[in-house]
Structure 1
Amino acid sequence: MSEQRAEPHAIHVHLDELLAERNMTLAELAAQVGVTNVNLSILKNGRAKAIRFTTLTRICHALNCQPGELLSCQPADN
């Protein structure tokens, strides 16, 4: 069986910036959204492979933001 490589993507997550602007911790956001700190940390660090629209909706509601403030598409580093 061959090892599957992660496909590079150009999506950047701005969770750190939004949390700082709102003086909110990752743990507080996790509690409001109903996901684990680990899952939010994976998203925050750009290691997530996907996000459910329901989770994205809850994050946006908790942070009072739009998806475009949380996510952006930037050229991948080569």
Structure 2
Amino acid sequence: MTPAEDDGPTGIHCRLDELLAERGMTLARLSELVGVSVVNLSVLKNDRARAIRYSTLSAVCRALDCEVGDLLVRADPR
């Protein structure tokens, strides 16, 4: 099975929910700022994303004033 076909855990956790809470920002507001739908941001927030464009990653980090490593962290299965 290739990685693209694997539907299991990625080992990457998106901290979007925590970063939004720390900044008092809603997902809807982030969507407005970065030009990405709330649905797509929700997929990312809930660790269901299989891929993310660098342009989206950059826009989210810019809007949240954070680094990529603040947003995406390793979450190896135990």
Q: Calculate the TM-score normalised by the size of structure 2.
A: 0.89
- How much does 1:7 deviate? 3.6
CA–CA distance in 2 between the matches of 1:74 and 1:15? 14
Structure 2: runs of 5 or more not aligned: none
Structure 1: runs of 5 or more not aligned: none
Aligned to 2:70: 69
Aligned to 1:50: 51
In terms of Rg, which structure is larger? 1
**Count of aligned pairs between the two proteins:** 74
CA deviations 1:20-63 (Å, max 9, x no partner) are 00000000000100010000000000000000000000000000
CA–CA distance in 2 between the matches of 1:74 and 1:44? 14
Other structure's SS at 2:73 match = strand
CA–CA distance in 1 between the matches of 2:34 and 2:11? 25
Other structure's SS at 2:7 match = coil
CA–CA distance in 1 between the matches of 2:11 and 2:20? 21
Aligned to 2:9: 8
CA–CA distance in 2 between the matches of 1:5 and 1:63? 30
CA–CA distance in 1 between the matches of 2:28 and 2:19? 14
Q: Calculate the TM-score normalised by the size of structure 1.
A: 0.89
- How much does 1:76 deviate? 1.9
Other structure's SS at 2:13 match = strand
CA–CA distance in 2 between the matches of 1:17 and 1:7? 23
Provide runs of 4+ in structure 1 moved above 2 Å: none
